[in-house]
Amino acid sequence: IEMPGMNGYETAIDIRALDEPTCSVPIIFLSSNSEIEAVRRAIAAGGDDYLVKPVDEPRLLAKIAGLERHTAVRNQLAAMQRELKTLRSLARDNANLDPLTGCLNQDAFIGQLGHLWQDALRIHQPLCLLMIDIDALAAYNDALGHDAGDGAIKAVAEVMCREAQRPSDAIGRTDSADFGALFPGIDVNGAVETAERIRSKVAAMGFPHPSSETAAHLTISIGITVIVPENPNGSRRLLDEASRALFDAKDAGRNCALLNPMSLMR
């Protein structure tokens, strides 16, 4: 226990303060001091065992073997705990995702809308929301089957996700045929350009749509709105305005992207 410069208690404390795996190495105190206070201090400092000298070799080796087994079990338990933590984290992430597309699900998207609204309010920047509907998806499913419909939904989601390159951008599936896309800091011109780019890329995929009254291929309609938030509780307004713009786009014949006129008046 008593050593030049640093005693055994201090050494044990320093070892236990190190990072894994060093901090978990077994520590056996060997001392001629048999007083109970010395034993108590040794264990309190991080020791695993305390042997009074002289110690015969078989006994010491047996103690070491026992501690090695204990350490192996402890390391295995620590590994299992780390794996469990990872699985819980993945479960939380998956709970926020749409299982078909990997985009945010509706609840997670609405939650992200609230967060981005507050961010835009704080720094006084515009927030763009696109509401996107796959035109005549039900008829597409009826004509080609639900597997084909799922493939079309995933393809549209991939187009949108390729547009959402920044960490702050968010894409969510808000209904069976509907998506939302959030782009912080994009003004009206940028919003219209982004929406038109998404619309044209979906059309360019050329997925045949035998039941569409709009085109011979799969198309989408997009409602656009851009707001610079002024009210901390006003995120619902963004949804309402984008939904109205989407309705207008569908009413105008579909396969188009329309801006809510209110976005031009701000």
List, for residues 205-230, the tens digit of each pLDDT value.
999 999 999 999 999 999 999 999 99
What integer pLDDT is reported at residue 252 of this predicted model?
96
Find all residues with CB under 8 Å of 25, minimum gap 6, and list them. Answer: 15, 71
Say whether domain 8-94 belongs to CATH 1.10.357.10: no
Residues 134 and 152: beta-carbon distance below 8 Å: yes
pLDDT at position 92 is: 65
Q: State the pLDDT at residue 266.
A: 56
Query: Could you read off the pLDDT of 74-84 as tens digits, one per residue?
Result: 777 777 777 77
Q: 106-265 belongs to which CATH class?
A: alpha beta
Instruction: Note if the bond before 54 is cis, omega within 30 degrees.
Output: yes
Q: What is the pTM of this model?
A: 0.68
Within the chain, which residue ranges are assigned CATH 3.40.50.2300? 8-94
CATH 3.30.70.270, the chain: domain bounds: 106-265
Q: Quick one: pLDDT at residue 44?
A: 94
3-state secondary structure at position 199: helix
The set of residues, in sequence order, having a beta carbon less than 8 Å from that of 213 and lying 6+ positions away, is 136
pLDDT of res. 71: 77
Residue 20 DSSP SS3 = coil
Is cis: bond before 21, omega within 30 of 0? yes
266 residues of the chain, pLDDT tens digit each: 676 777 888 999 999 888 877 788 889 999 989 899 999 999 999 998 999 999 888 888 888 888 888 877 777 777 777 777 776 766 566 689 999 999 999 999 999 999 999 999 999 999 999 999 999 999 999 999 999 999 999 999 999 999 999 999 999 999 989 999 999 999 999 999 999 999 999 999 999 999 999 999 999 999 999 999 999 998 999 999 999 999 999 999 999 999 998 876 65
Q: How far is CA 181 from the centre of its chain?
A: 17
pLDDT given for residue 1 in this prediction: 67
* Biggest distance spanned by C-alpha atoms of the chain: 95
